[in-house]
Structure 1
Amino acid sequence: MKTASFLFPKDKVAFIRSSSSMKEAMEQLEQHYYTALPIVDEAGKYVGTLSEGDLLWTLKNKPGVSFDNMDEIPVSTIKKHIRNECVSIDAYMEDMLAKAADQNFVPVVDDKQIFLGIIRRKDIIAYYMNNITD
């Protein structure tokens, strides 16, 4: 089955722009109760994932960074510790299980790498549970 059937579309997904600040990222994570966010560049392409841990490590290890100046730190300068691999909108759900083991979500892109949305781990697991028990 194609992943398009399980797509949680971009307009319903919290994501951040690569030009966003560290403070904006933290606010998005807090508002949506997420532990990680897809990062999209100004052209709309998926460029990576930012996690809570990335923000914490930046606060701890980057000299001069504090809660007071997080609005001055672009997300693009933060070292990322995870890489959620993206898949094409034409990918098959049968190929998602390995990704779900390591990722909370799988970013979905078109043939030009434009971010379309995500497939959530819970939807991948539900798909496999339904197919195993049927």
Structure 2
Amino acid sequence: MNIAFFLLPKQEVVCLTYDTTLRQALERMEYHRYSAVPILHSDGTYYGTVTEGDLLWFMKSRPDLTFETTNKVKLAEVPLRVTNKAVNIDANMDDMISLAKVQNFVPVVDDRNHFIGLVRRSEIIDYCQQGLSQRS
């Protein structure tokens, strides 16, 4: 099955850019209740994924940083502890399943590494469950 069938398109995905402030990232993640969000370069290419843990560890390591001053820090300064890998739109389901084991979602990119959307782990689990049900 083609992974495009499971794709949540970019227009429906909460994304951040490298230039987003720490405050903006915290507020958007809180508002949408997400624990991880894709980060894009200004040209739309996928950079990585920031997690709540990344933000918390960064704030912990900066005792001079207060919540009030988080609007002066760019997301580019926050080290990402985990590398969430993206797949190309032409990837197969086996690639998706192996990434979904360790990622909440799998970013999907085109041939130029432009982010085009993501596939949620829950969609992949549902797909696998249907396959198991059909075998029974």
CA distance in 2, matches of 1:131, 1:43: 38
Q: Using the TM superposition, give the Cα deviation of residue 63 of structure 1 relative to its aligned residue in structure 2, in angstroms.
A: 4.2
Question: RMSD over aligned Cα, in angstroms?
Answer: 0.9
- How many angstroms apart in 1 are the aligned matches of 2:60 and 2:46? 27
Tell me if structure 2 keeps the 8 A contact 1:22–1:73. Answer: yes
- Alignment-derived partner of residue 111 in structure 1: 111
1:22-66 CA deviation, whole Å, 9 max, x = no partner?
011001101111000000010000000000011111111024222
CA drift of 1:122 comes to 0.2
List aligned pairs for 1:1-134, cutoff 5 A.
Answer: 1-134=1-134
Structure 1 unaligned runs (5+)? none
Paired residue total: 134
Q: TM-score, normalised by structure 1?
A: 0.97
Give 4+ residue runs of structure 1 displaced > 6 Å after superposition.
none
1:83 Cα deviation from its structure 2 partner: 1.2
Instruction: Kindly state the Cα deviation for residue 95 of structure 1 after the two structures are TM-superposed.
Output: 2.2
Identity of aligned residues (%): 40
In 2, Cα distance between equivalents of 1:71 and 1:122: 33
Q: TM-score scaled by structure 2?
A: 0.95
> Contact between 1:58 and 1:65, CA under 8 Å: does it hold in 2?
no
